[in-house]
Amino acid sequence: MDSRLEEMTADQLTEQLKRLRDNLCDLEDLHSFTFNKTSLHIGSEKAQAMQDEFEMDCESYKKQISEIERVLLTRQGCKG
């Protein structure tokens, strides 16, 4: 677990969680728009590179979200 998360207050963690979720949503919207709602032609190599980058970015956001949720749940468990 990231030691920086341990040092953050619950309010800071909640704000960070919201920011990460918003960023993930924006990334998914952009990806959807680029690949589904435009007539933009993208070469197959470029499209695959964009897809790979998208998947890596999503995984990174999801991992960070999961870590923050774990810290918040652990803190809740300690209080209850």
- What is the structure's pLDDT at 12? 96
- What is the structure's pLDDT at 80? 57
The pTM of the full predicted model, rounded to 2 decimals, is 0.84
User: CA torsion sign, 49 to 22 to 28 to 66?
Assistant: positive
Helix (H, G, I), strand (E, B) or coil at 34: helix
- What is the structure's pLDDT at 39? 67
Interval 10-67: pLDDT, tens: 999 999 999 999 999 999 999 988 877 766 677 888 888 989 999 999 999 999 999 9
Domain coordinates in residue numbering, the chain: 8-79
Mean pLDDT, range 60-76, rounded to an integer? 94
- What is the structure's pLDDT at 79? 67
Q: Of the candidates 65, 80, 66, which has an alpha carbon nearest to the alpha carbon of residue 23?
A: 65
